[in-house]
Amino acid sequence: MQDEQELRRLIVEIGKRIWTRGYVAANDGNITAVLNDRELLTTPTGVSKGFMTTDMIIKVDRSGKPVSANSKYRPSSEVKMHLEVYKTRPDVKSVVHAHPPYATSFAVAGIPLNKCVLPEAIIVIGAVPLAPYGLPSTMEIPD
């Protein structure tokens, strides 16, 4: 189990990295991490990942409801997608949802990233399949 403050620091650091590299714009994307069997940490809605601080990170239960009151920030509605990942894959301990421009462009064009151009990527990551479009913030996404 990770120390909560260290996990908060890591979420903020990853947020800054994905923002700096252009993998998210404005307030796009979100990050969650498993804190323990009952709780997760998640990035807030409406906040740029490049400008987060550790006090903005929200603790939620396994249904996505905030555990402690934080009147300034709310969890992203996309936390439902992350919860489904954790339910389906108990070995996963963190999810980073970003919008890298090239991957997003391929997805919009309906082109899966499944060609073995770089064998190392296929070995380490595997093919990147396409999911059907789902309306953001709805149960279409995790389903």
For 48-116, give the DSSP string.
-GGG--GGG-EEEETTS-BSS--TT--B-TTHHHHHHHHHH-TT--EEEE---HHHHHHHHTT--B---
Q: Which is higher by pLDDT, 17 or 77?
A: 17
Say how far apart CA 67 and CA 134 lie, in whole Å.
Answer: 28
pLDDT at 137: 67
CA–CA separation, 96 and 107 (whole Å): 17
Which domains are seen in the chain, by residue range?
4-99 (3.40.225.10)
Residue 11 backbone phi and psi in degrees, to 5? -60, -45
How confident is the model over 27-76, as pLDDT tens digits? Answer: 999 999 999 999 999 999 999 999 999 999 999 999 999 998 767 899 98
